[in-house]
Structure 1
Amino acid sequence: MPINILMPALSPTMEKGNLAKWLKKEGDTVKSGDVIAEIETDKATMEVEAVDEGTIAKILVAEGTADVPVNDIIAILATEGEDVKAAASGGGAAKPEAKAEAKAEAKSEAKPEPKAEAKQDAPKPAAAPAPAQAAATNGARVFSSPLARRLAKEAGIDVSRVNGTGPRGRVVAADIEKAKSGGALKSASAGAPAAAGVAAPAMSDQAILGLYEEGSYESVPHDSMRRTIAQRLTAATNSMPTFYLTVDCDLGKLSSAREEINAAAGKDKDGKPNYKLSVNDFVIKAMAVALQKIPEANVSWTEAAMLRHKHSDIGVAVALPFGLITPIIRQAEIKSISAISNEMKELAARAKAKKLKPHEYQGGASSVSNLGMFGIKDFTAVINPPQSSILAVGTGEERAVVRNGQIVAATMMSVTLSCDHRAIDGALGAELITAFKKLIENPVMMVV
């Protein structure tokens, strides 16, 4: 029997991917472990390996196709001894979910509607709503398949606001996928409260386009990375209570130490320095050590428990032409600043080439976002779940400060710590940023 090759989920958050390139063509024989295609996710380009052995009978999704949903059939594999042409023309085996959807739709069609309505009107004892159908905000019945309801629940979508395209307006799985991808939803009924956790869009795309003259703008479609950034940051700002703490740090001792360390760095066989430390390298190290000194702040929030991390895994924001990514320096508290510097350069280079693997940018305890190189004095950064904090770093600049009653010039840097109030209270956040300040102003303490 033909085997379906499905669009794989290459990360826990992946919903769609771009089929960048086929490395095998129709008629090619593949073995388990052979690389058959390259998939672009929202963060990286990754290779897909064959799981089964056989011959590629038909490629259903051409290379270069964008936004292919996870678990969609992308190719058909004929097993050993099977007729390749027959497998290609047969279309492959139906996906289990597709079969279940079809079965549910057929069952719905076979069931007479009048009886269903009569049964609904019959008196019932007080109980939880029947899972078979959802109720619309205006009290009308909403017909939806079991698979559609499950997908809607997982995505936090109110089924009653989804436009159904199935028989008699029934909401099916494809409608939920369209809604997840930004499809228009029905307006909430007048006078009816919005469903919990579901916010009506402020303005539709059509309404926004109507504000501008045609031809006065260029419409650039969102890529998968930009969509994911929007979804995750919207979720973070809507569900995460955040507070901010700002301190000014004196960079006098750090600047002197950095100059001495860089001057003493040896050179490799090509005559290049073995390392060249930046202020950001010291910031990463200081944040990692500060989290070890204040372990109660080295946490991630879950509804069931607080995850207290043993190591300081620090994400570092890297700006890309097509978005933003935060590769993670693992166990940064035990690494030298020169090791952090070299690792960060290597991660940033692979991030820009979209060659990072999921474990290199997922998870982490906290992050650092530095806009100092753009001359930004101070700003607040959005926390990247499941992390509970992020440090926004401004530029180092000469400022007039008062010391011993005298106004003197000093190189100062403003940093702002964003904290998830569910996991980090105000006093705890203050302890963390104070610990960071002491370390950055006395860098020798980072090696103690």
Structure 2
Amino acid sequence: MAIDVTMPALSPTMEVGTLAKWHVKPGDVVKSGDIIAEIETDKATMEVEAVDEGTVIEIAVPEGLENVPVGTVILRLAGEGESSAPPPKPVPVAAPAPAAVPVAPAAPAAPAPSATPSGDRIIASPLARRIAELQGVDLATVAGSGPRGRIVRADVEAAAGKPAVAAPVAPAPSPVPAEPVAPRAPAPAAPVTSDIPHSVEKLGNVRKVIARRLTEAKQSIPHIYLTLDVELDALLKLRGELNKALEPRGIKVSVNDLVIKALALGLRQVPKCNVSFAGENLLVYERADISVAVAAPSGLITPIITGADGKAVSQIAAEMKALAEKARAGKLQPHEYQGGTASLSNLGMFGIKQFEAVINPPQAMILAVGAGEKRAVVKGDALAIATVMTITGSFDHRAIDGADGAELMSAVKALIENPLGLVA
């Protein structure tokens, strides 16, 4: 019996995926652990490994196909001792024509034939079957728009949302052709057009999710912003000493790595800010997992330094370098970017002086870090020149009061300006 390989759920929010690339073709022998495909999810493009072993007998979903529902068969394997020839395509068999019978003038009309000929197996995705059961839709009356007439979620939803229409009586029964199904993504309220020369780039799944989540965050979370200036000279001196000591180990600490540590320790000092709003409850976290914004080709993603409050700065630097490289290559695994108790976004390398970041739900705060620059400051009664950067905290005001947010910002400032506490 052939082994069906289905579209996997690579993240908790994934409902559909794009088959970005196949790494196998019919006739290839696949072993457990082999990379068989690349799937673009709602978060990133990820490699999929084979679980079963066998010979590829059919590529069920073509490369580049979008919006493939989770659970859809994408590949078929022949097990050991089985034929590796592709399965024969099902051929509809017409039912024998009934003998002519005189029809009385008042005889009732014959019922419309179902979308699936009698005796044929109904091919539908597991998700489509579940939705059909919940909506009370008879799959035998649904025409599939998927590969080889497979019934998918959109087909069931279309059938559930409109009254059934009797099919005309044909000389010989045949499957009713599938009606065109509109894309699941909602169309914009007003299509944007332009007579300016331009090109059109289709949104990837990652960009779609970024757009949806940031819109939800700004519409549903009451943001409050708190800004402080922080002197960096002591931290820059410590960084130079650390990098000199770590050079034999091939580790280089950045200012961002030190700020990650400062935010993590600050959250532990002010636990009222290390929370998530959860309706009638607050989730109060017992460690600080810092999500760090990284610009990847597919869009913004936030790999996580887990337990940053308990890690050495050198360990944070090494992990951050590896995670950033994987993020830019689209190779992050779900556990490396899902979760986090707070976020950090640093645009200082672009010379941005100050900005306000959007909270990444369900987290309740994010720290925006600007560029360090020479500024005039007052030390005692005299003017002096110092390296200063501006940091801005965005807080979910449902979960964090302004005074608690200010306490966290002050704690982070103190840790950066007295950085021995970061390595103690």
Q: TM-score, normalised by structure 2?
A: 0.77
User: Matched residues in 1 for 2:123 and 2:386: separation?
Assistant: 70
5+ residue gaps in structure 1?
110-146, 152-158, 169-173, 185-200, 269-273
3-state SS of paired residue (2:89): helix
Contact (CA 8 Å) 1:55, 1:77: kept in 2 or not? yes
The structure having more radius of gyration, on CA atoms, is: 2
User: Matched residues in 2 for 1:390 and 1:101: separation?
Assistant: 38
The 3 A distance-change label for structure 1 pair 63 and 434 is: same
Deviation at 1:55, TM superposition (A): 4.7
Q: 1:267 aligns with which of 238, 248, 252?
A: 248
Q: Aligned pair 1:412/2:388, yes or no?
A: yes
The 3 A distance-change label for structure 1 pair 107 and 403 is: closer
The 3 A distance-change label for structure 1 pair 89 and 247 is: same
The 3 A distance-change label for structure 1 pair 88 and 52 is: farther
**Partner AA of 2:213 in structure 1:** R
Deviation at 1:254, TM superposition (A): 1.2
Deviation at 1:246, TM superposition (A): 0.5
Contact (CA 8 Å) 1:390, 1:418: kept in 2 or not? yes
Deviation at 1:284, TM superposition (A): 0.4
5+ residue gaps in structure 2?
91-120, 142-152, 166-178
- Alignment deviations for residues 192-214 of structure 1 (CA, whole Å, 9 cap, x no partner): xxxxxxxxx6x422xx21xx21x
- Alignment deviations for residues 313-357 of structure 1 (CA, whole Å, 9 cap, x no partner): 111111123311111111111111122112111111111111111
**Partner AA of 2:74 in structure 1:** I
Q: Aligned pair 1:445/2:421, yes or no?
A: yes
User: Matched residues in 1 for 2:269 and 2:291: separation?
Assistant: 18
The 3 A distance-change label for structure 1 pair 67 and 286 is: same
User: Matched residues in 1 for 2:257 and 2:234: separation?
Assistant: 15
3-state SS of paired residue (2:183): helix
Deviation at 1:19, TM superposition (A): 1.7
TM-align CA RMSD: 3.4
**Partner AA of 2:320 in structure 1:** M
3-state SS of paired residue (1:311): coil
**Partner AA of 1:352 in structure 2:** R
Q: 1:381 aligns with which of 357, 367, 387?
A: 357
Q: TM-score, normalised by structure 1?
A: 0.73
Q: Aligned pair 1:371/2:347, yes or no?
A: yes
Please identify, of 382-391 and 96-105, the stretch whose mean Cα deviation from structure 2 is larger: 96-105
Aligned pairs for 1:191-206 (under 5 A) are: 203-205=189-191
Aligned pairs for 1:261-410 (under 5 A) are: 261-268=242-249, 274-303=250-279, 305-410=281-386
Aligned pairs for 1:43-54 (under 5 A) are: 43-52=43-52
3-state SS of paired residue (1:398): strand
User: Matched residues in 1 for 2:314 and 2:139: separation?
Assistant: 65
Give the equivalent residue in structure 1 for 2:22. Answer: 22
Deviation at 1:401, TM superposition (A): 1.9
Q: Tell me which protein shows more helix as a share of its residues.
A: 1
Deviation at 1:283, TM superposition (A): 0.4
The 3 A distance-change label for structure 1 pair 56 and 427 is: same
The 3 A distance-change label for structure 1 pair 219 and 164 is: farther
Give the equivalent residue in structure 1 for 2:124. Answer: 94
Q: How many residues align?
A: 370
**Partner AA of 1:314 in structure 2:** I
Deviation at 1:248, TM superposition (A): 0.7
User: Matched residues in 2 for 1:176 and 1:309: separation?
Assistant: 45
Contact (CA 8 Å) 1:380, 1:392: kept in 2 or not? yes
Contact (CA 8 Å) 2:217, 2:359: kept in 1 or not? yes
The 3 A distance-change label for structure 1 pair 29 and 280 is: closer
- The share of aligned pairs that are identical, in percent, is 51
Deviation at 1:267, TM superposition (A): 2.2
**Partner AA of 2:293 in structure 1:** A
Contact (CA 8 Å) 1:377, 1:394: kept in 2 or not? yes
User: Matched residues in 1 for 2:128 and 2:338: separation?
Assistant: 31
